[in-house]
Amino acid sequence: MKYLRSILSVLSAPVIYGMLCVPAVEFLYGRFPQHVNESGGTSHVPLLLGTELLQLLFLFVCGYVTALLAPGNIRTHAWVATVLMLGIGISVQLSFWDAAPVWHHFVFFACIVIGMIAGANLRQRQLAGTGASNRA
C-alpha cells in the first residue's frame, strides 16, 4: 500500500494539472480570442500574466495533493513530482516555443517549482502544527 501511495502521490500532479489547469487556461484564452495567435499562444502581457497566476494556483494545489497522498517523507515526494512536472513542462513548452515570448516559458518553469513546493510545504506545516504524521 505504501508503494501504491507513493506512485499515486507523484502521478497526482500531472493528472490534476491536466484535468483542471489545461481546461481553465483554454477557457481563459477562449474569452480573449483576439489575443491568441495561430499557434495557440499569445504575446498579450495581461493575458500571459493571468495565465501564469492561474497556473501557479493549480500547481500549488498539485503540490498540496502530492503531499497529502505521500505515505512518508513529503519533501522527497514533492521534489520527485516537481521534477516530473518540469520534464512534462519542458517538453510542452518546447513544442510551443514560438507561440509565446521567451520570458513566459521561464516564468512557467519557475511557477512549477514555486507552486509545487509551496503546496507541499503548506501540507507539511499543517501536519507539524497538529503533531500528526503523514504516515499511513
Residues 7-26: tens digit of each pLDDT: 999 999 999 999 999 999 99
* Structure confidence at residue 136 (pLDDT): 44
Whether the per-residue pLDDT at 1 is higher than 90: the answer is no
* Structure confidence at residue 132 (pLDDT): 66
SS3 string, the chain, reads CHHHHHHHHHHHHHHHHHHHHHHHHHHHHHHCHHHECCCCCECCHHHHHHHHHHHHHHHHHHHHHHHHHCCCCHHHHHHHHHHHHHHHHHHHHHHCHHHCCHHHHHHHHHHHHHHHHHHHHHHHHHHHHHCCCCCC
Whether the per-residue pLDDT at 65 is higher than 60: the answer is yes
Whether the per-residue pLDDT at 135 is higher than 70: the answer is no
* Structure confidence at residue 73 (pLDDT): 93
For 84-134, the pLDDT digits (tens) are: 999 999 999 999 899 999 999 999 999 999 999 999 999 999 998 887 655
* Structure confidence at residue 129 (pLDDT): 84
* Structure confidence at residue 124 (pLDDT): 94
pTM for the full predicted model: 0.91
* Structure confidence at residue 130 (pLDDT): 80
